[in-house]
Structure 1
């Protein structure tokens, strides 16, 4: 009799076991939610449209009062109560009711939209990384709105408005048949998320990183061509074959029993960025509803701005990095009596592309000027200022000034430009003929001298202010040069670590037995491997030099 009461009750009733898996639901539950048993029974809450209620369910399971029925992210009114037997928790009872009036339905829809927008604001666009942003978008929609979510992005520039076809909003593509849409461009699959029980059934579906081209009549191609959201619900197998992007996608859809697709363009500031595709497995009676479409469109509009910001940022950083690399490609050549090796390593964080640089200038009488500098700040401006410093250094080299005189000249020239950024700089003049090094520093870290069987020497150089301040006050120091000795000059990215005193960082460099007699490239490798921080947070430039034995001249 109790079973009959539950089965015929006008209120939706369902039962979760202690593992939060749906084990029972009556007819009213499925009638109210519009869900099929296959989408609920034997599934964990996290893999069903009730996943957003997990925090509430955990509180109830822990003993909190359920409170009055509340509208969930799904729009239904649900109340949860803990089920106990002989003092032991045996599960959770859920009672579900739909909205009573049209006004209430509109209110529930508004609440659902606000909840989704709030979640999108918190979870999408947390970094300026395109792929991470796409993953955040995909994971927000599964399982609350779909069983499968795919985000694909267009190559930079293809989606610009005014370039035809795929750049316009609300284009003029057709609504059916073959050949009515232009060929879709290739896209890169940036993210994929799916319900846990779907993972093993995706078969040959292309994973993130793959290049894909949608079929001419696929849902994605229609969405691209028309520039608007496209929904295809409750597809037959033949219709699914037309709407799938490729044969591999069709095979995966069949394995996963997909029968409803929704594709929405990701557009921001008049530029088409990519497409978000959502799919539902058979068992959702209505497929994607109009309310779903409105919610997904809101989500796509918000996410597209974050993705476009990330793409533009990545593009600007790429330009900066290429500019910086180009400016470092052709340093001067030393005299034949000096061997040199140099290395430039950009930071792992592209946001910190900086103005680290080095230069080599031939001076008269077999002397070679070695320069290591670090323009303050990051980005294109720092890279451009870096080229200005290098140009002035080369001009000063032709004046045959001593190192501290070069710094004074450089400081005077740069300080007259109000837009130029200050820079630290270390000069080292190698004079193998007279067996001496001459150093001068503008706020830079000390040079290191290595020799086999001898402690590493950090040369004490009088440190003047950074270049560009106009303060001057530079001095030089002369140190003996030995043929077996190797010099290492570097920027602060090699030794500095977050939260560590610089003296501790320099002591680490001085305590390491780096080989002075091996190849200079080996010396650079060892310095990067043994001294540089594990996670490089700033650019690193370093240069090694050693006098060539006199009988090789």
Structure 2
């Protein structure tokens, strides 16, 4: 090719139209001295190069240029205008000059001035040149239309675009030469151009004549004016922008996918978002299949499918351009077996995307074993398919399969690249959803295993509870509740909330719940119990900080903290003692229906350390309703906490057939379908022990009083109809009263409580707690408390401000009513 060009140049005559002498070319340095002068400049001004080079260019000017104008020009990269100069013979010439301010290879700035020699007027041959340029221009297709919108001229590119020669197009309107909406839109644009005289830009998508593939076209409609400025026609210029059009569409689809895919952490919904975003821009039907091994979300994600045999895939999502999705032979959520060597399985095995026509062997073999799928392909006319594996973080999750039948073109390589990009984005989102679902499932399982499966039976209160994990992205939190039977027929009610979400919060909740049960077992008052719990939370926070490896970047801070409300209700005195650590105040509904928030000091959050907690005591008549809850019940994104409290108080006064029904009513009214935070609710309706169920004796500190005390206790047991417990009761009363007289301090008191168990309590003014010990063979004492522990169901001790109380519990068979 280069040799041909050289030969052509050699054959040209010397005096060719582009010879240098037809342009005056001058170079000036920064001081305006002439450094270059060609033959064209000599012909223009009459000076030879020898006469002018080295001289100042100012001497050539017919009149001086103002200094202000020169300063404005100095910094310009280019200047053009008319300059008055003197010819050598003294004539004044007005010439048009184009000046370039440039830096050549020498590195010295200079001005390069050019001016065409006068006298080059248009020639008759120029008209023919213009016509040839219009007709043969390969860069764009053009057509000229008169004011009647009739074609007057078309170039060769337009003939190729329409598949028609000029002979068939002249005299036709656009809508006649191009049938359909594209021609009508072009005509409407031409009419607007004729009316307004303003050009108009359009874009159309149509198939060129003689081609099966549709093209994108940019169309510019420009007015053609005569010398007077009147519009005499319209020029239609069009460019094939198919590649740019599809590139823009792909970028738009990728951008849209980034916004629409992964809006939630739900696996199935994320898969459906992938299917929705690809229809109809990329495919006519798409299905998203996930490995069935992902169904067990508590197991690690597998690295791939089975080694051989049909592969089971679950249909996670599908979408179609046709309403009703007639292409689907597998329902959403159903499992289908894909044979070995089928296109989806091959993509899963290899980890590579592929595209096929329906006549390919891989597709034919796949359809041969699936008559239903083959029939659907034949009915719809599906002509091509793509399979793209869903893979994220080195793990294969499934495969997306794309089909075309309404779109006339088969899938191209660019389509495959686009599908891989979209599926890769979706795979990361699906993997995130799977990881979140597994972690949340583990946290929920842990949380539920740590919460009481069944509330213990006790006579002090009737209870009902609800726990609802968060449904949003935050994950499971650390809310908990508990009901702990205490000595003396009392009961402890607890509700707490650990700061944060996830497995860590659930595990911390379990440790705190265990600590509360342990502290409650030694019968600490509410304020003291919270003080011990505060110390524990502070230690947990310190341990977490110390466990951070020194050779790793520090993880985001996740301080251990919690709120808690602890209440103890005594059905004998009908009083309730409460303390709280930064927790919402409990609500009390009286038997007559009055509702109030308990005036209880807030207390600091658990884990702050060094701050005191205060307890309060309130009277709770029999039939009162005590509501304990976490903050997730009363606050939300669209509700203020005060509004939530007000609504909760209203709901608690509503009549309900049971406490369980009331719990359901409260949750249904206050919570959305997917609450943003965990919720724990504990309702307790108080009961009271009748005075006939309690017997109390003040005992003098005299060993001789033990015998009378035994008689009184036996008489009371027989009055209650509990003769079967008489022997053990006599032994327990004798042993505990004797120890109180011998080792304790006055005042000494014996109390028997007839509840679901027979409770025996002996109190004295000493704070010294007894303990079990094993007596040696010849010891005279040390066996009494051991016998008490062996013969009773439970025993223990609790401290009070006035001393201590030793208590025991005996079980007994309920007395049939007909025996009284």
Q: TM-score range by the shorter chain?
A: 0.7 to 0.9
Partner Cα separation in structure 2 for residue 76 and residue 139 of structure 1: 25
Establish whether residue 219 from structure 1 lines up as the match of residue 330 from structure 2. Answer: no
Structure-1 residue corresponding to 2:289 = 152
Q: How does 1:28-427 map to 2 (within 5 A)?
A: 67=201, 76-79=215-218, 97=240, 114-154=251-291, 155-156=293-294, 160-161=302-303, 165=307, 182-195=308-321, 198-200=322-324, 202=326, 205-235=329-359, 242-243=366-367, 246-281=370-405, 284-285=408-409, 287-330=410-453, 333-349=456-472, 351-417=474-540, 418=542, 419=544, 421-427=560-566
CA shift, 1:491, in A, is: 0.7
Call closer, same or farther: CA 1:341–1:248 in 2, change over 3 Å: farther
Aligned residue for 1:151, secondary structure, equals: strand
Partner Cα separation in structure 2 for residue 185 and residue 352 of structure 1: 33
Partner Cα separation in structure 1 for residue 591 and residue 176 of structure 2: 79
Establish whether residue 439 from structure 1 lines up as the match of residue 578 from structure 2. Answer: yes
Partner Cα separation in structure 2 for residue 275 and residue 523 of structure 1: 48
Partner Cα separation in structure 2 for residue 313 and residue 547 of structure 1: 41
Is contact 1:436-1:479 (8 Å) kept?
Answer: yes
Partner Cα separation in structure 2 for residue 404 and residue 159 of structure 1: 48
Residue-by-residue CA offset, 1:58-98 (whole Å, 9 max, x unaligned): xxxxx9976487999x995422679xxxxxxxxxx996726
Partner Cα separation in structure 2 for residue 493 and residue 67 of structure 1: 57
Call closer, same or farther: CA 1:294–1:163 in 2, change over 3 Å: closer
Partner Cα separation in structure 2 for residue 239 and residue 509 of structure 1: 62
Is contact 1:448-1:459 (8 Å) kept?
Answer: yes
CA shift, 1:254, in A, is: 3.3
Structure-2 residue corresponding to 1:430 = 569
Partner Cα separation in structure 2 for residue 201 and residue 410 of structure 1: 59
Partner Cα separation in structure 2 for residue 326 and residue 234 of structure 1: 53
Is contact 1:213-1:245 (8 Å) kept?
Answer: no
Partner Cα separation in structure 1 for residue 328 and residue 387 of structure 2: 20
Structure-1 residue corresponding to 2:32 = none
CA shift, 1:526, in A, is: 2.1
Aligned length: 479
Is contact 2:305-2:311 (8 Å) kept?
Answer: no
Is contact 1:356-1:539 (8 Å) kept?
Answer: yes
Call closer, same or farther: CA 1:77–1:526 in 2, change over 3 Å: closer
CA shift, 1:345, in A, is: 1.0
Task: Determine which of 620, 627, 634 is the counterpart of 1:481.
Answer: 620
Partner Cα separation in structure 2 for residue 12 and residue 144 of structure 1: 26
Unaligned runs of 5+ in 2: 1-149, 164-174, 183-195, 207-212, 222-235, 545-558, 691-754, 757-820
Which piece of structure 1 moves more, 342-351 or 238-247?
Answer: 238-247
Is contact 2:357-2:363 (8 Å) kept?
Answer: no
Call closer, same or farther: CA 1:209–1:115 in 2, change over 3 Å: same
Is contact 1:160-1:270 (8 Å) kept?
Answer: no
Call closer, same or farther: CA 1:525–1:121 in 2, change over 3 Å: closer
Is contact 2:311-2:339 (8 Å) kept?
Answer: no
Is contact 1:218-1:245 (8 Å) kept?
Answer: no
Call closer, same or farther: CA 1:546–1:200 in 2, change over 3 Å: closer
Aligned CA-pair RMSD: 4.0
Partner Cα separation in structure 1 for residue 617 and residue 367 of structure 2: 76
Residue-by-residue CA offset, 1:337-394 (whole Å, 9 max, x unaligned): 3322211111222533211101122222111111000111111111111011111101
Establish whether residue 471 from structure 1 lines up as the match of residue 610 from structure 2. Answer: yes
Call closer, same or farther: CA 1:271–1:354 in 2, change over 3 Å: same
Partner Cα separation in structure 2 for residue 25 and residue 143 of structure 1: 30
Is contact 1:360-1:370 (8 Å) kept?
Answer: yes
Structure-2 residue corresponding to 1:59 = none
CA shift, 1:274, in A, is: 0.9
Residue-by-residue CA offset, 1:11-53 (whole Å, 9 max, x unaligned): 259xxxxxxxxxx9989x9xxxxxxxxxxx899xxxxxxxxxx
Structure-2 residue corresponding to 1:11 = 161
Call closer, same or farther: CA 1:283–1:141 in 2, change over 3 Å: closer
Question: Please, what TM-score do these two structures have when normalized by structure 1?
Answer: 0.75
Partner Cα separation in structure 2 for residue 431 and residue 316 of structure 1: 41
Is contact 2:311-2:340 (8 Å) kept?
Answer: no
Partner Cα separation in structure 2 for residue 112 and residue 517 of structure 1: 60
Partner Cα separation in structure 2 for residue 547 and residue 274 of structure 1: 56
CA shift, 1:330, in A, is: 3.8
Structure-2 residue corresponding to 1:172 = none
Establish whether residue 508 from structure 1 lines up as the match of residue 647 from structure 2. Answer: yes
CA shift, 1:153, in A, is: 1.4
Task: Determine which of 447, 451, 458 is the counterpart of 2:597.
Answer: 458
